[in-house]
């Protein structure tokens, strides 16, 4: 029957339908809902929004198989005719089992009116694992409220975060905030000795922030939390376009020891990540490392940071596997040099992503990263260039080292057999097994795991590689007639050598390479 068409066919069909027909198709059955509703959302321009088409396409109950809801440019969040709240808010209310929710508020006015209503609904979604809110016009304390009420939340992303004292408050949030303020006041009195301190018991004692020198005024929830409670599950925290302060961020993350990823993009008014300008920066780095012992991914965007600031920050995270830095005052070569000098990073770092506007060349440092970092999977240096000759030398050395390692591994079992013949004792057999385990634990070779290389590879002249592969095939450096004459019957030994070596890296995406040439 036509209602059982493959999803790929339905997606293709949806591209030919107008919003009204898309809305009708959404109502056929559950299999048709997702492909046609997705196309419907994208087809409705915010200036020509069809309420009727949307209302017909989206049922109030999405069904148990629907676990993800994304609401973009959402005028339906606001009140509509006959409804106290918007249709999208009613959908949220009627689907408490959603696991992922993303909401983009179209403007500050809608965020002011409806954000707290959305927050009041979301905190009751006990199966929620991922939450994204863009346009976070919230009063003080709402972010902590979200985190505390959703202990199972694994990923939180907040964008365009601005304090908004005029937001309409949710009653449950008001109650929570009053209790929190009373708890903090009691904690402050305890610190200055105004009230007697009760003896600690095993049921109420926690591995508390007092041992890690949290700033005054920090949340007392970590102190009162029982050690028998499971840890909060937040793994990934992303704060985009926020006004950042060291003290507040420490208060925010102190109860989340499972954090693995932090993304920060701060506003111009935020604290600078420079030890000379921010006296509290070094203690901040030290405490952050203690609070987030499992952090292995760090992303910094538009952060005012210098070399000393990055050194101190990285010293807090010896297990770092992925680092991304964008739009900072630092040069790519300085960042790479710091990573190269970090003890142990060459054995654990898997991804480096630098999208900087850097005018200083980073070719030497980029080559050194490729040469030394054993587990590197992805390397992107958008403003970086590597000369093809030195790059070939690095890959040739890796190939020769790889051949030597394979030869040693082939010889090792034979040597062990000669040292421990079959008639040897049980102890010898045990040593033989240990030797095999050591053999399998041999460190990986540099470049073996490389999947993505996004760095411009530059040759000595235009003739080193096929012109169609260059960054700009039809640039102004050559005229078209000269191009046609030069390209006839040309061979490319340098390019062929490079591609032969790159094919040794079986995981590498060859299509992602960028080539250029010098004049």
pLDDT in tens, 182-199: 877 776 655 544 444 443
pLDDT digits (tens, 9 = 90+) for 317-348: 999 999 999 999 999 999 999 999 998 999 99
Mean pLDDT of 265-289: 89
Partners of residue 300 on adjacent β-strands: 264, 325
Question: In this predicted model, which residue has the larger pLDDT, 405 or 292?
Answer: 292
Residue 116 CA to its chain's centroid (Å): 27
Close Cβ partners of 391 (under 8 Å, ≥ 6 residues apart)? 367, 370, 457, 498
Place of tokens 């990986």: 444
Torsion of CA 179, 180, 181, 183, to 10 degrees: 90
Question: In this predicted model, which residue has the larger pLDDT, 66 or 495?
Answer: 495
pLDDT score, position 424? 44
Q: Using an 8 Å Cβ cutoff, are 100 and 68 in contact?
A: yes
**Angle between helical axes of 142-149 and 246-253 (0-180°, round to 10):** 20
Confidence of residue 2 (pLDDT cuts 50, 70, 90): low
pLDDT digits (tens, 9 = 90+) for 466-498: 888 887 654 555 555 555 555 556 889 999 999
Average pLDDT of the chain to the nearest whole number: 76
Torsion of CA 399, 400, 404, 407, to 10 degrees: 70
Q: Using an 8 Å Cβ cutoff, are 118 and 76 in contact?
A: no
Q: Is 242 helix (H, G, I), strand (E, B) or coil?
A: strand
pLDDT of residue 88 exceeding 90: no
Confidence of residue 31 (pLDDT cuts 50, 70, 90): confident
Pairing of strands 130-134, 68-71: unpaired
Separation CA 316–CA 121 (nearest Å): 37
Close Cβ partners of 438 (under 8 Å, ≥ 6 residues apart)? none
pLDDT score, position 486? 56
Q: In the Cβ-directed half-sphere of 386, how many Cα atoms lie within 13 Å? A: 28
Mean pLDDT of 287-303: 95
Separation CA 499–CA 392 (nearest Å): 10
Q: Using an 8 Å Cβ cutoff, are 264 and 299 in contact?
A: yes
How many CB atoms are located within 10 Å of the residue 144 CB? Answer: 18
Q: Using an 8 Å Cβ cutoff, are 106 and 74 in contact?
A: yes
Q: Is 163 helix (H, G, I), strand (E, B) or coil?
A: strand
Close Cβ partners of 224 (under 8 Å, ≥ 6 residues apart)? 183, 204, 206
pTM attached to this predicted model: 0.74
Question: In this predicted model, which residue has the larger pLDDT, 26 or 98?
Answer: 98
pLDDT digits (tens, 9 = 90+) for 203-240: 333 333 333 444 444 443 433 344 456 678 999 999 99
Close Cβ partners of 243 (under 8 Å, ≥ 6 residues apart)? 161, 266, 267, 269, 270
pLDDT of residue 22 exceeding 90: no
Torsion of CA 303, 262, 140, 70, to 10 degrees: 110
pLDDT of residue 149 exceeding 70: yes
pLDDT score, position 20? 73
pLDDT score, position 76? 47
Mean pLDDT of 24-42: 73
- Tell me, what DSSP letter sits at residue 448? T
pLDDT score, position 163? 74
Confidence of residue 29 (pLDDT cuts 50, 70, 90): confident
Nearest to residue 115, comparing CAs of 177, 193, 54, 169?
Answer: 169
E strand or H helix that includes residue 130:
strand 130-134
Separation CA 284–CA 159 (nearest Å): 23
């Amino acid at each position: 029957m036509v209602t059982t068409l493959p999803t790929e066919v339905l997606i293709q069909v949806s591209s030919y339908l107008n919003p009204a027909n898309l809305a009708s198709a959404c109502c056929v059955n559950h299999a048709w809902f997702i492909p046609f509703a997705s196309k419907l959302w994208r087809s409705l321009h915010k200036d020509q929004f069809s309420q009727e088409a949307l209302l017909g396409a989206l049922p109030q109950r999405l069904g148990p198989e629907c676990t993800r809801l994304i609401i973009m440019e959402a005028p339906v969040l606001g009140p509509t005719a006959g409804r106290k709240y918007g249709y999208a808010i009613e959908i949220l209310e009627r689907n408490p089992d959603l696991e992922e929710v993303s909401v983009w508020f179209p403007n500050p006015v809608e965020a002011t009116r409806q954000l707290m209503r959305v927050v009041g609904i979301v905190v009751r979604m006990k199966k929620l694992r991922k939450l994204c809110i863009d346009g976070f016009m919230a009063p003080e304390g709402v972010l902590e409220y979200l985190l505390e009420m959703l202990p199972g939340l694994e990923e939180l992303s907040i964008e365009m975060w601005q304090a908004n004292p005029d937001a309409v408050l949710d009653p449950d949030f008001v109650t929570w905030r009053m209790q929190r303020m009373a708890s903090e006041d009691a904690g402050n009195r305890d610190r200055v000795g105004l009230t007697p301190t009760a003896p600690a018991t095993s049921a109420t004692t926690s591995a508390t922030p007092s041992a890690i020198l949290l700033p005054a005024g920090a949340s007392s929830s970590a102190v009162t939390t029982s050690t028998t409670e499971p840890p909060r599950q937040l793994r990934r925290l992303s704060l985009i376009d926020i006004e950042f302060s060291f003290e507040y961020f420490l208060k925010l993350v102190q109860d989340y020891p499972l954090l693995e990823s932090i993304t920060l993009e701060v506003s111009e008014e935020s604290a600078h990540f420079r030890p000379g300008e921010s006296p509290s920066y070094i203690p901040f780095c030290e405490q952050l490392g203690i609070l987030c012992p499992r952090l292995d991914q760090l992303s910094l965007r538009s952060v005012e940071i210098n070399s000393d600031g990055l050194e101190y920050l990285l010293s807090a995270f010896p297990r770092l596997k992925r680092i991304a830095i964008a739009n900072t005052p630092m040069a790519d070569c300085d960042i790479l040099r710091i990573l190269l000098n970090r003890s142990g990073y060459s054995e654990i770092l898997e991804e480096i992503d630098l999208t900087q506007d850097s005018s200083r060349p980073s070719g030497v440092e980029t080559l050194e990263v490729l040469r030394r970092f054993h587990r590197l999977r992805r390397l992107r240096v958008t403003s970086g260039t590597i000369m093809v000759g030195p790059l070939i030398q690095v890959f040739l050395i890796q190939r020769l080292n790889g051949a030597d390692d394979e030869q040693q591994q082939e010889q090792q079992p034979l040597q062990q057999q000669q040292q421990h013949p079959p008639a040897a004792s049980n102890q010898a057999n045990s040593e033989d097994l240990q030797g095999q385990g050591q053999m399998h634990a041999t460190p990986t070779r540099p470049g073996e795991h490389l999947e993505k290389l996004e760095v411009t590879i530059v040759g000595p002249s235009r003739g080193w590689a096929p012109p169609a592969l260059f960054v700009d095939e039809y640039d102004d450096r050559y005229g078209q007639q000269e191009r046609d004459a030069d390209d006839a019957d040309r061979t490319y030994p340098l390019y062929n050598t490079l591609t032969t070596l790159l094919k040794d890296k079986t995981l590498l995406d060859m299509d992602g390479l960028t080539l250029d040439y010098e004049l």
